[in-house]
Copies of this chain bind each other. A is one copy, B any other.
Amino acid sequence: MEFNSEEEFLKAYDSSKFEKLSMTADILIFSVSDEVSNNYRKLNKKHFSVLLVKRDNYPFKDKWCLPGGFVGIDEEIEDAAKRILKKEANIKDIYIEQLYTFGNPKRDPRMRIVSVSYMALIDKNKLSDKISKNASWFNVSMLEDEKEIFINLDNGEETIKFKIKKILKEKTTDRYKYEIIENDKLAFDHPIVIVSGIERLKNKIEYTDIVFNMMPEYFTLGELQMVYEVILGKKLLDPAFRRIIANKVEKTDKMQTGGGHRPSYLFKYRKK
Protein backbone atom coordinates (compact mmCIF):
# COMPACT_ATOMS: atom_id res chain seq x y z
CA MET A 1 0.00 0.00 0.00
CA GLU A 2 1.23 3.47 -0.89
CA PHE A 3 0.55 6.61 1.11
CA ASN A 4 0.91 10.23 0.11
CA SER A 5 1.29 11.73 3.54
CA GLU A 6 2.08 10.88 7.11
CA GLU A 7 -1.47 11.74 8.03
CA GLU A 8 -2.92 9.32 5.52
CA PHE A 9 -0.57 6.61 6.70
CA LEU A 10 -1.52 7.07 10.34
CA LYS A 11 -5.21 6.96 9.56
CA ALA A 12 -4.82 3.61 7.88
CA TYR A 13 -2.43 2.22 10.47
CA ASP A 14 -3.59 -0.97 12.13
CA SER A 15 -1.67 -1.52 15.32
CA SER A 16 -3.29 -4.86 16.01
CA LYS A 17 -1.21 -6.66 13.44
CA PHE A 18 1.70 -7.05 15.83
CA GLU A 19 1.76 -9.17 18.94
CA LYS A 20 2.12 -6.91 21.93
CA LEU A 21 3.41 -7.25 25.43
CA SER A 22 2.88 -5.93 28.93
CA MET A 23 5.19 -3.76 30.93
CA THR A 24 5.72 -3.25 34.62
CA ALA A 25 7.69 -0.73 36.62
CA ASP A 26 9.52 -2.17 39.62
CA ILE A 27 11.18 0.01 42.21
CA LEU A 28 14.12 -0.57 44.46
CA ILE A 29 13.57 1.74 47.38
CA PHE A 30 16.72 2.14 49.42
CA SER A 31 17.13 3.82 52.76
CA VAL A 32 19.26 3.72 55.87
CA SER A 33 17.88 2.55 59.20
CA ASP A 34 19.07 3.08 62.75
CA GLU A 35 19.51 0.21 65.13
CA VAL A 36 18.98 1.79 68.53
CA SER A 37 21.99 1.31 70.78
CA ASN A 38 21.64 0.16 74.39
CA ASN A 39 24.87 1.80 75.49
CA TYR A 40 24.32 5.49 76.20
CA ARG A 41 27.78 6.30 74.90
CA LYS A 42 27.54 4.42 71.62
CA LEU A 43 26.04 5.81 68.46
CA ASN A 44 23.21 4.04 66.73
CA LYS A 45 24.40 1.55 64.18
CA LYS A 46 23.24 2.21 60.65
CA HIS A 47 21.87 -0.36 58.28
CA PHE A 48 21.36 -0.15 54.57
CA SER A 49 17.82 -1.28 53.84
CA VAL A 50 15.43 -2.06 51.01
CA LEU A 51 11.64 -2.15 50.91
CA LEU A 52 10.02 -5.42 49.88
CA VAL A 53 6.40 -6.44 49.55
CA LYS A 54 4.92 -9.82 50.36
CA ARG A 55 2.83 -11.12 47.50
CA ASP A 56 -0.66 -12.24 48.42
CA ASN A 57 -1.59 -13.26 44.90
CA TYR A 58 -0.33 -15.63 42.31
CA PRO A 59 2.10 -15.89 40.71
CA PHE A 60 4.79 -16.30 43.39
CA LYS A 61 2.16 -16.14 46.13
CA ASP A 62 3.74 -15.65 49.59
CA LYS A 63 7.11 -14.73 48.15
CA TRP A 64 8.68 -11.31 48.58
CA CYS A 65 9.13 -8.93 45.69
CA LEU A 66 9.91 -5.33 44.86
CA PRO A 67 7.04 -2.87 44.83
CA GLY A 68 5.83 -2.80 41.27
CA GLY A 69 2.88 -2.76 38.95
CA PHE A 70 1.71 -2.54 35.39
CA VAL A 71 2.42 0.52 33.31
CA GLY A 72 -0.78 2.06 31.91
CA ILE A 73 -1.15 2.24 28.15
CA ASP A 74 -0.99 6.04 28.21
CA GLU A 75 1.27 6.41 31.19
CA GLU A 76 4.88 7.56 31.15
CA ILE A 77 6.94 4.72 32.66
CA GLU A 78 8.52 6.91 35.34
CA ASP A 79 5.06 8.16 36.30
CA ALA A 80 3.97 4.58 36.82
CA ALA A 81 6.95 4.10 39.11
CA LYS A 82 5.99 7.19 41.08
CA ARG A 83 2.38 6.06 41.33
CA ILE A 84 3.52 2.75 42.80
CA LEU A 85 5.85 4.55 45.18
CA LYS A 86 2.89 6.52 46.46
CA LYS A 87 0.71 3.47 46.76
CA GLU A 88 3.15 1.11 48.45
CA ALA A 89 5.17 3.43 50.60
CA ASN A 90 3.00 6.51 50.68
CA ILE A 91 5.88 8.68 49.57
CA LYS A 92 6.38 11.12 46.77
CA ASP A 93 8.91 13.68 45.58
CA ILE A 94 11.92 11.57 46.27
CA TYR A 95 14.98 10.79 44.22
CA ILE A 96 14.29 8.25 41.50
CA GLU A 97 16.29 7.07 38.52
CA GLN A 98 15.88 4.42 35.89
CA LEU A 99 18.05 1.39 36.53
CA TYR A 100 17.70 -1.22 33.83
CA THR A 101 15.13 -2.96 31.67
CA PHE A 102 14.72 -6.69 32.16
CA GLY A 103 13.05 -8.47 29.32
CA ASN A 104 13.72 -12.17 29.44
CA PRO A 105 10.69 -13.80 27.78
CA LYS A 106 10.44 -16.34 30.60
CA ARG A 107 10.86 -13.98 33.52
CA ASP A 108 7.14 -14.02 34.29
CA PRO A 109 5.18 -17.27 34.09
CA ARG A 110 1.95 -15.55 33.06
CA MET A 111 3.00 -13.98 29.79
CA ARG A 112 5.62 -11.74 28.27
CA ILE A 113 6.17 -8.94 30.73
CA VAL A 114 9.06 -6.55 30.40
CA SER A 115 10.11 -4.86 33.61
CA VAL A 116 11.65 -1.40 33.74
CA SER A 117 13.35 -1.08 37.10
CA TYR A 118 13.91 2.13 39.00
CA MET A 119 16.01 2.98 42.01
CA ALA A 120 14.63 5.38 44.60
CA LEU A 121 16.34 6.79 47.69
CA ILE A 122 14.72 8.17 50.78
CA ASP A 123 15.57 9.53 54.18
CA LYS A 124 13.72 7.28 56.58
CA ASN A 125 12.78 10.18 58.82
CA LYS A 126 10.62 11.48 56.01
CA LEU A 127 8.69 8.26 55.85
CA SER A 128 5.16 8.36 57.01
CA ASP A 129 4.48 5.06 58.76
CA LYS A 130 1.65 4.37 56.37
CA ILE A 131 3.55 1.94 54.24
CA SER A 132 1.25 -0.70 52.82
CA LYS A 133 0.49 -3.56 55.15
CA ASN A 134 2.35 -6.12 53.09
CA ALA A 135 5.48 -4.01 52.85
CA SER A 136 8.51 -4.32 55.09
CA TRP A 137 12.01 -2.88 55.35
CA PHE A 138 14.84 -5.39 55.13
CA ASN A 139 18.37 -4.70 56.27
CA VAL A 140 20.81 -5.59 53.54
CA SER A 141 24.17 -7.21 53.97
CA MET A 142 26.30 -8.24 51.07
CA LEU A 143 29.42 -10.30 50.57
CA GLU A 144 31.18 -10.30 47.25
CA ASP A 145 34.13 -12.01 45.65
CA GLU A 146 35.25 -12.18 42.03
CA LYS A 147 32.71 -14.79 41.06
CA GLU A 148 29.74 -14.57 43.38
CA ILE A 149 27.62 -12.26 45.45
CA PHE A 150 25.85 -13.34 48.63
CA ILE A 151 23.01 -11.21 49.87
CA ASN A 152 21.29 -11.43 53.20
CA LEU A 153 18.08 -9.54 53.87
CA ASP A 154 16.55 -9.32 57.32
CA ASN A 155 13.46 -7.54 58.58
CA GLY A 156 13.69 -8.74 62.18
CA GLU A 157 11.26 -11.58 61.64
CA GLU A 158 12.36 -13.20 58.47
CA THR A 159 15.65 -13.75 56.69
CA ILE A 160 16.04 -13.91 52.94
CA LYS A 161 19.26 -15.21 51.47
CA PHE A 162 20.26 -15.52 47.89
CA LYS A 163 23.33 -16.04 45.79
CA ILE A 164 24.22 -14.54 42.43
CA LYS A 165 26.87 -15.59 39.99
CA LYS A 166 28.81 -12.91 38.15
CA ILE A 167 29.56 -13.69 34.55
CA LEU A 168 32.06 -11.51 32.79
CA LYS A 169 30.62 -10.62 29.41
CA GLU A 170 32.40 -11.85 26.33
CA LYS A 171 33.27 -8.47 24.93
CA THR A 172 35.64 -5.96 26.48
CA THR A 173 33.71 -4.47 29.33
CA ASP A 174 33.61 -4.17 33.08
CA ARG A 175 29.96 -5.10 32.96
CA TYR A 176 28.81 -8.31 34.52
CA LYS A 177 25.89 -10.43 33.63
CA TYR A 178 24.17 -11.81 36.71
CA GLU A 179 22.65 -15.23 37.15
CA ILE A 180 20.66 -16.46 40.13
CA ILE A 181 22.19 -19.52 41.76
CA GLU A 182 20.27 -19.76 44.99
CA ASN A 183 16.98 -18.11 45.85
CA ASP A 184 13.79 -19.38 47.32
CA LYS A 185 12.04 -16.41 48.87
CA LEU A 186 12.12 -13.75 46.18
CA ALA A 187 9.79 -13.59 43.21
CA PHE A 188 10.66 -13.13 39.54
CA ASP A 189 14.19 -12.05 38.67
CA HIS A 190 14.19 -9.59 41.55
CA PRO A 191 17.43 -10.89 43.11
CA ILE A 192 19.20 -9.59 40.02
CA VAL A 193 17.41 -6.26 40.16
CA ILE A 194 18.48 -5.83 43.77
CA VAL A 195 22.11 -6.63 43.03
CA SER A 196 22.14 -4.30 40.02
CA GLY A 197 20.75 -1.50 42.14
CA ILE A 198 23.26 -1.95 44.93
CA GLU A 199 26.11 -1.90 42.44
CA ARG A 200 24.76 1.25 40.81
CA LEU A 201 24.41 2.96 44.17
CA LYS A 202 27.90 1.93 45.28
CA ASN A 203 29.34 3.45 42.14
CA LYS A 204 27.30 6.61 42.19
CA ILE A 205 27.93 7.40 45.84
CA GLU A 206 31.57 7.97 44.92
CA TYR A 207 31.12 10.42 42.08
CA THR A 208 27.78 12.11 42.74
CA ASP A 209 25.92 13.73 45.62
CA ILE A 210 23.26 11.05 45.56
CA VAL A 211 23.82 10.09 49.19
CA PHE A 212 22.20 13.25 50.50
CA ASN A 213 18.85 11.93 49.35
CA MET A 214 19.10 9.46 52.19
CA MET A 215 20.08 12.04 54.79
CA PRO A 216 17.91 14.33 56.89
CA GLU A 217 18.36 18.08 56.50
CA TYR A 218 20.81 18.27 59.41
CA PHE A 219 23.27 15.52 60.16
CA THR A 220 26.64 14.99 61.79
CA LEU A 221 29.68 14.04 59.75
CA GLY A 222 29.87 10.86 61.78
CA GLU A 223 26.41 9.89 60.62
CA LEU A 224 27.20 10.74 57.03
CA GLN A 225 30.36 8.70 57.20
CA MET A 226 28.45 5.74 58.61
CA VAL A 227 26.05 5.87 55.69
CA TYR A 228 28.97 5.80 53.25
CA GLU A 229 30.51 2.92 55.16
CA VAL A 230 27.35 0.86 55.29
CA ILE A 231 26.74 1.28 51.55
CA LEU A 232 30.30 0.71 50.48
CA GLY A 233 30.71 -2.12 52.96
CA LYS A 234 34.02 -0.89 54.32
CA LYS A 235 35.49 1.40 56.97
CA LEU A 236 36.75 4.80 55.92
CA LEU A 237 39.42 6.88 57.63
CA ASP A 238 38.08 10.00 59.30
CA PRO A 239 40.45 12.63 57.92
CA ALA A 240 40.26 11.31 54.39
CA PHE A 241 36.50 11.17 54.53
CA ARG A 242 36.22 14.70 55.83
CA ARG A 243 38.44 15.98 53.06
CA ILE A 244 36.36 14.27 50.40
CA ILE A 245 33.01 15.61 51.53
CA ALA A 246 34.30 18.97 52.76
CA ASN A 247 32.96 20.96 49.82
CA LYS A 248 29.67 19.10 49.70
CA VAL A 249 28.56 20.09 53.18
CA GLU A 250 28.08 23.26 55.15
CA LYS A 251 28.71 23.56 58.86
CA THR A 252 25.82 25.03 60.83
CA ASP A 253 25.93 26.46 64.35
CA LYS A 254 23.66 23.72 65.63
CA MET A 255 25.17 20.99 67.77
CA GLN A 256 24.12 17.48 68.54
CA THR A 257 24.52 16.76 72.23
CA GLY A 258 23.31 14.00 74.53
CA GLY A 259 25.75 11.20 73.79
CA GLY A 260 28.30 10.43 76.47
CA HIS A 261 31.01 12.01 74.40
CA ARG A 262 32.05 15.18 72.68
CA PRO A 263 29.11 16.77 70.86
CA SER A 264 29.18 17.18 67.15
CA TYR A 265 28.34 20.04 64.85
CA LEU A 266 25.39 19.52 62.58
CA PHE A 267 26.01 19.95 58.87
CA LYS A 268 23.76 20.32 55.89
CA TYR A 269 24.10 19.58 52.21
CA ARG A 270 25.59 22.36 50.10
CA LYS A 271 24.54 22.23 46.47
CA LYS A 272 27.16 23.18 43.94
Contacts and interface: CB of A to CB of B under 8 A. Distances in A.
Interface in A77-118: 77-78, 93-98, 100-101, 103-105, 109-112, 114, 116
Given A58-B6, A77-B103, A101-B98, A173 B22 contact: no
A19 interface: yes
A237 interface: no
Contacts of A209: 172-174
Contacts of A241: none
A167 interface: no
A96 B177 CA distance: 12
B6 A73 contact: no
Interface of A: 3, 6, 9-10, 13, 15, 18-23, 58-61, 70-78, 93-98, 100-101, 103-105, 109-112, 114, 116, 170-175, 207-210, 212-213, 269, 271
A118 to B, nearest CB: 10
Contacts of A104: 76
Contacts of A269: 172
A59 B9 contact: yes
A171 B94 CA distance: 7
A18 B58 contact: no
Contacts of A173: 95, 97, 208-210, 213
A19 B94 CA distance: 29
B23 A15 contact: no
Contact of A110 (B10, B70, B172, B210): B10
Contact of A18 (B22, B60, B171, B213): B22
A76 B104 CA distance: 5
Nearest to A95: B171
B59 A210 contact: no
